[in-house]
Amino acid sequence: MSAPLPVRIVISAARSIAEVAAWWTENRPKAPDDFVDDLERTLTLIASHPDIGARARNAKLENVRRVHLARVHYFLYYK
């Protein structure tokens, strides 16, 4: 088994993540950590299995994939 790949988050994505995390924490008092937990779990999965996501057909960039964060109903797009 190979070592997990590094995951880099671009500034615009980091801003979006921070906004969603703040909104989620404030508006989901029964599960305030669900978004961050799902995101961390998915990033770990992508690092180990980068081809896990489906190819995103509606992305402007080439070779973009997406994974559905089912519990929080968000898509994570990555390349």
Supply the pLDDT for residue 58: 83
Residue 64 belongs to some domain of the structure: yes
Residue with tokens 């790949």: 5
> Distance (Å, rounded) from C-alpha 79 to C-alpha 76?
10
Supply the pLDDT for residue 17: 97
> Distance (Å, rounded) from C-alpha 60 to C-alpha 51?
19
Residue 55 belongs to some domain of the structure: yes
Residue 58 belongs to some domain of the structure: yes
pLDDT digits (tens, 9 = 90+) for 2-58: 899 999 999 999 999 999 999 999 999 999 999 999 999 999 999 999 999 999 988
Domain that holds residue 16: 11-78
CA neighbor of 63 nearest in space, from 46, 77, 49: 77
Total domains in the chain come to 1
- Give the pLDDT band of residue 1 (cuts 50, 70, 90): low
CA neighbor of 13 nearest in space, from 51, 39, 52: 39
Supply the pLDDT for residue 2: 81
> Distance (Å, rounded) from C-alpha 74 to C-alpha 61?
19
Residue 6 belongs to some domain of the structure: no
Residue 50 belongs to some domain of the structure: yes
